[in-house]
């Protein structure tokens, strides 16, 4: 029997951005309320069962992340704690191998949130995400709100800019245009902020509380963490997880904040199943069109990123593929020159963060 609470219960699912969206929402709601939120990225059904025992009458709202790596898991989350506010950040290629290797399979499973949340509740979707159109909303009786940067929506980000500390953009809240600042890079993080704005506005939070909450939200480690070293060397550590959408978003950050030599160090993306070849090559194709000077790949499947890049005009002389991490690290140390920006991106299981640590250690000694 699902735990049904008479308070806002916000559940977030999606192929990317779940944890950041949860942290941004929590940061705003904490400005005024005592809340309960899921910890880190602990988002399996067994974690939700643990949270159900810890939520009490003192919590004014609950903010949870509903992860899925297999069919039925979202339904199980909802059976443990039923949300009345649901967010699907996007429908992408994370764990696609476990859903028949098709986007339709992923969308159908993500739709379990819509089918199993409170049917008169609030659902928030991304109007720019083309695969979100595959979500099953036809029987949902509640209110649907949309966020976007491009398409018509209830909360639309405009005048987006990179700043020294993150991003700024403008959006309308209660009919008035406001400037919003977030302390993290990447246009994909603007979507996460818009979800947080939509929830907080719906729950009656003031604009200054929304702005302050977003400005002070705490980033989790190894998610576009930027180390600024001497001689204008920057290292972007995004080694916590990876899928094609998230990797392309990270490449955009490298393209925008790197002002000298830009080096992408990309490792294998796991749990891609039969989509693996297409997914890795699509990242290479995307990279070839961006402001990147050198590509280093690490791992067997990551070699397909190199292939995708060279097939789309990226110079083969500027690509190196590695299977030995010690050799990769040794060669990257030689690139620690002034005005160089490195991006490290791979699935957590690949261990690319060890190379990040080695470079930081080398640079500080």
For residues 308, 314, 318, 322, the Cα torsion angle rounded to the nearest 10 degrees is 0
- For residue 93, pLDDT over 80 is answered with no
Q: Which residue do the tokens 């109007």 mark?
A: 127
Q: Is the pLDDT of residue 1 over 90?
A: no
Banded model confidence at residue 136, pLDDT cuts 50, 70, 90: very high
Q: Degrees (nearest 5) of the Cα angle 8, 122, 182?
A: 75
Could you tell me the two tokens for 153? 């929506």
| Ordered DSSP codes for 59-84 | -SEEEEE---SSTTHHHHHHHHB--S
Torsion of CA 220, 85, 191, 13, to 10 degrees: 60
Which is more confidently placed, 346 or 275?
A: 346
CA 42 to chain centre: 15
Report domain extents, the chain: 9-215, 225-364
Q: Which band of pLDDT confidence, cut at 50, 70 and 90, is reported for residue 96? A: confident
CB 114 within 8 A of CB 86: yes
pTM of this structure:
0.92
Cβ atoms of 153 and 147 closer than 8 Å: yes
CB burial class (10 A; 0-12, 13-18, 19+) of residue 60?
middle
CA-nearest of 38, 40, 27 to 241 is 40
Q: Say if CB 314 and CB 284 are below 8 A apart.
A: yes
Confidence of residue 220 (pLDDT cuts 50, 70, 90): confident
pLDDT value at residue 70: 85
Q: 42-79, pLDDT tens digit by residue? A: 999 999 999 999 999 999 999 999 999 888 999 999 99
> Average pLDDT of 285-311?
98
The pLDDT assigned to 274 comes to: 86
Residue pointed to by tokens 């009656």:
204
SS3 (DSSP) at 242:
coil
| 346 token code pair | 């791979």
355 conformational bin, left if phi > 0, alpha if psi -120 to 50, beta if neither? alpha
Average pLDDT, the chain: 95
| Secondary element (H or E) of residue 51 | helix 45-54
Is the pLDDT at 328 greater than 80? The verdict is: yes
User: What is the full DSSP assignment across 110-145?
Assistant: HHHHHHHS-TTSEEEEETT-GGGGGS--TT--SEEE
Domain 225-364's class? alpha beta
Q: Please say whether the beta carbons of 77 and 44 come within 8 A.
A: no
176-202 pLDDT, tens digit each: 999 999 999 999 999 999 999 999 999
Query: What are the residues whose beta carbons fall under 8 Å from the beta carbon of 144, sequence distance 6 or more?
Result: 122, 123, 124, 125, 137
pLDDT digits (tens, 9 = 90+) for 28-40: 999 999 999 999 8
Q: Are 174 and 207 in contact (CB under 8 A)?
A: yes
Task: Report the pLDDT averaged over residues 337-355.
Answer: 97
99 falls in which pLDDT band (50, 70, 90)?
confident
* Contact predicate 309/288, CB 8 Å: yes
Superfamily in which the 9-215 domain is placed by CATH: Mur-like, catalytic domain (3.40.1190.10)
Residue 272's pLDDT is what?
A: 87
The arithmetic mean of pLDDT across residues 210-217, rounded, is 97
Number of alpha carbons in the 13 Å side-chain half-sphere of residue 190: 26
Percent with pLDDT over 70 in the chain = 100
Quote the tokens at residue 44: 């399996």
**108, pLDDT greater than 80:** yes
Confidence of residue 41 (pLDDT cuts 50, 70, 90): confident
* pLDDT value, residue 195: 98
């Amino acid at each position: 029997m699902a735990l049904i609470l008479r308070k806002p219960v916000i559940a977030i699912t999606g192929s990317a951005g779940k944890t950041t969206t949860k942290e941004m929402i929590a940061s705003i709601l904490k400005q005024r309320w005592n809340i309960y939120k899921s910890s880190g990225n602990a988002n399996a059904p067994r974690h939700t069962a643990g949270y159900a025992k810890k939520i009490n009458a003192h919590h004014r709202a609950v903010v949870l992340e509903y992860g899925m790596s297999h069919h039925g898991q979202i339904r199980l989350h909802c059976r443990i704690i039923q949300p009345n506010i649901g967010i699907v950040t996007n429908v992408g290629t994370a764990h696609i191998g476990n859903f028949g290797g098709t986007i339709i399979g992923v969308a159908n499973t993500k739709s379990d949130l819509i089918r199993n949340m409170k049917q008169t509740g609030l659902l928030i979707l991304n109007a720019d995400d083309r695969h979100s159109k595959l979500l099953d909303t036809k029987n949902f009786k509640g209110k649907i709100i949309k966020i976007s940067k491009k398409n018509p929506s209830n909360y639309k980000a405009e005048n987006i800019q990179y700043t020294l500390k993150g991003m700024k953009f403008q959006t309308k809240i209660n009919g008035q245009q406001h400037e919003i600042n977030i302390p993290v890079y990447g246009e994909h993080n603007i979507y996460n902020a818009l979800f947080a704005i939509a929830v907080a506005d719906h729950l009656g939070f003031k604009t200054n509380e929304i702005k302050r909450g977003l400005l002070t939200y705490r980033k989790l480690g190894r998610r576009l963490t930027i180390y600024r070293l001497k001689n204008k060397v920057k290292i972007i550590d995004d080694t916590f997880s990876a899928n094609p959408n998230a990797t392309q978003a990270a490449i955009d950050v490298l393209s925008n904040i790197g002002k000298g030599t830009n080096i992408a160090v990309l490792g294998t993306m796991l749990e891609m199943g039969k989509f693996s070849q297409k997914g890795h090559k699509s990242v290479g194709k995307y990279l070839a069109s961006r402001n990147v000077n050198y590509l280093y790949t690490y791992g067997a499947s990551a070699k397909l990123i190199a292939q995708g890049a060279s097939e789309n005009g990226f110079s083969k002389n500027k690509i190196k593929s590695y299977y030995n991490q010690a050799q990769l690290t040794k060669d990257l140390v030689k690139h620690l020159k002034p005005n160089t920006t490195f991006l490290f991106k791979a699935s957590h299981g690949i261990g690319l963060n060890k190379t990040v640590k080695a470079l930081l250690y080398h640079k500080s000694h």
